[in-house]
Amino acid sequence: MVNNYLEAYVDGGCFRNGKPDAEAYGSFKVLEAEHEVMFWPRFVLSEAYTNNEAEWYSLEKLITYLSLYIIKHPGIKFVNIYTDSQLVASQFNGYFRIKKPKLKEIHDLVKEKLDQEEFRNVKISLRLVPRDIIFEKLGH
């Protein structure tokens, strides 16, 4: 039997933040009933040039994975996502406006994915947690 609850941890970062030769990366981990179902320790984000873009793109990659997981496991009803990015958590939850066009574009893509059929009966929350929790879960 499938547990109806998932928790996920997501992070993004960028070496040489904002520079033309920036190297952005992301990672996420998904747990069901405290058992790891997916861990992507580090992936390259060639489309990101800042830390904030990397954080948002990492969330987008996580949402894409969750979409596929939920299709295969239709009993999922709740997903709690944890991030250490105050900006992403606040923008996602509607507390901060999104001023940068690139971040707005990624935000809209995330929200569009969350409007898909597989998420209709799933409550998604995105919560801010201290950096040390993300480090513990993702290793960076």
Domain chopping of the chain, boundaries? 5-138
Q: What predicted TM-score, i.e. pTM, was given to this entire model?
A: 0.95
What is the full per-residue pLDDT of the chain (140 aa) written as tens digits? Answer: 457 999 999 999 999 999 999 999 999 999 998 899 999 999 999 988 999 999 999 999 999 999 999 999 999 999 999 999 999 999 999 999 999 999 999 999 999 999 999 999 999 999 999 999 999 999 98
Whole-angstrom CA distances from 22 to 27, 61, 102, 130, 132 are 17, 19, 16, 25, 25
114 vs 106: CA distance, rounded Å:
12
CATH 3.30.465.10 is the classification of domain 5-138? no
